[in-house]
Amino acid sequence: MSNELYLRKEIEQQDAKDAEQDVRDVRKTQIKILASNITSAGNVPGLTFNNLVTGKWYRLYGQMRMFSESNNGVITNINENSNNLASYFHRNNDGNSQPSVQGVHVLFKATGTDVEVNLGAATASAYLAGNNTRSQSWLGIEELNYEIVETTDWT
């Protein structure tokens, strides 16, 4: 094989490696912002993500902003395929309207195709706040394209 042919083959192999690395470097993310206050228990459709790929790793991030007054409380759960990923509770005991902002940062391996936010308790005076801006409740999801290895190394 001539040197020129050898170099051409080596360049093609490196180009293929570079293209594979470029695919891994692409990160898909989506952000959903809660449009209005949620004042009743149940699923929060504005913060639902569908079409996850089972077996892939994802990161959820964002914030849950909850308000309560008059000794009422609000419970917020984030679930994936009926598995609880995170839970937040806010209750105000002094009768004044008080906010609580909880940061969301969850890493998980999908066992199903959906992530949903569910309010276990909510009323007109204890609710998940939304006003279509990131100053209130919002949630983002990122598909992780790099390898994550689960371990028991740290005891």
Q: For position 38, which CATH number holds?
A: 2.60.120.40
Indicate whether 8 belongs to any domain: no
Mean pLDDT to the nearest integer, 75-91: 88
Owning domain of residue 75: 27-144
The dihedral sign for the CA sequence 47, 113, 148, 153: positive
Furthest-apart CA pair in the chain: how many Å? 85
The answer to whether residue 60 sits within a structural domain is yes
Q: Per the structure block, which two tokens stand in for 74?
A: 């609000």
Does residue 12 lie in a domain region? no
Q: Has residue 20 been placed in a domain?
A: no
Residue 10 lies in a domain: no
Report the number of distinct structural domains present in the chain: 1
Pairing of strands 83-91, 98-109: unpaired
Residue 152 domain-assigned? no
pLDDT of residue 6: 65
Nearest CA to 110 out of 29, 48, 50, 25 is that of: 50
pLDDT, tens digit (0-9, with 9 covering 90-100), for 93-141: 666 666 788 899 999 999 999 999 999 888 888 889 999 999 999 999 9
Q: Is the pLDDT of residue 24 over 80?
A: no
